[in-house]
Amino acid sequence: MKYYIIAGEASGDLHGSNLMKSIYKEDAHAEIRFWGGDLMEKAGGTLVKHYRELAFMGFSEVIMNLKTIFGNIKMCKEDILHFNPDVIIFIDYPGFNMRIAKWAKKRGIKTHYYISPQIWAWKENRIAAIKRDFDELYIILPFEKDFYEKKHKFPVHFVGHPLIDAIKNREVTTEVHFRKENNLDEKPIIALLPGSRKQEITKMLSVMLSVVENFKEYQFVIAGAPSQEFSFYQTFLKNENVHFISNKTYDLLSISHAALVTSGTATLETALFKVPEVVCYKGSWVSYQIAKRVITLKYISLVNLIMDREVVKELIQEDFNTKNLKVELSKILDTTNRMRIFEDYNQLEQHLGGEGASDKTAKLIVNAIQ
d(CA 108, CA 204): 45
Q: Where in the sequence is the domain holding 22, given as residue range(s)? A: 2-161+356-369
3-state secondary structure of 140: coil
- Total-model pTM: 0.82
Is residue 200 domain-shared with residue 325, that is, in the same domain?
A: yes
Count of domains in the chain? 2
Burial class (CB in 10 A: 0-12, 13-18, 19+), 67: exposed
Distances 355 to 126, 160, 163, 166, 366 between C-alpha atoms, Å: 29, 7, 9, 10, 19
CB of 76 within 8 A of CB of 102? Answer: no
d(CA 190, CA 208): 11
Is residue 187 domain-shared with residue 120, that is, in the same domain?
A: no
Is residue 153 domain-shared with residue 22, that is, in the same domain?
A: yes
Is residue 96 domain-shared with residue 180, that is, in the same domain?
A: no
Is residue 215 domain-shared with residue 93, that is, in the same domain?
A: no
Is residue 142 domain-shared with residue 189, that is, in the same domain?
A: no
Is residue 181 domain-shared with residue 328, that is, in the same domain?
A: yes
Give the pLDDT score at 153: 96
Segments in 116-188 forming alpha helices (H): 127-133, 142-146, 162-168, 175-181
Is residue 338 domain-shared with residue 361, that is, in the same domain?
A: no
Strand duo 136-139 + 242-246: pairing? unpaired
Is residue 347 domain-shared with residue 360, that is, in the same domain?
A: no
How does pLDDT run across 76-128, given as a tens digit for each residue?
999 999 999 999 999 999 989 999 999 999 999 999 999 988 898 778 999 99
Is residue 266 domain-shared with residue 347, that is, in the same domain?
A: yes
How does pLDDT run across 273-300, given as a tens digit for each residue?
999 999 999 876 555 555 554 556 788 8
Mean pLDDT by 10 residues, the chain (370 residues): 94 93 97 96 95 63 64 94 98 93 97 92 90 97 94 96 90 91 95 90 94 97 89 92 94 97 93 97 63 66 94 94 98 96 95 92 96
Is residue 176 domain-shared with residue 118, that is, in the same domain?
A: no
Give me the CATH number covering residue 203. 3.40.50.2000
CB of 332 within 8 A of CB of 219? Answer: no
CB of 364 within 8 A of CB of 157? Answer: yes
Is residue 338 domain-shared with residue 247, that is, in the same domain?
A: yes
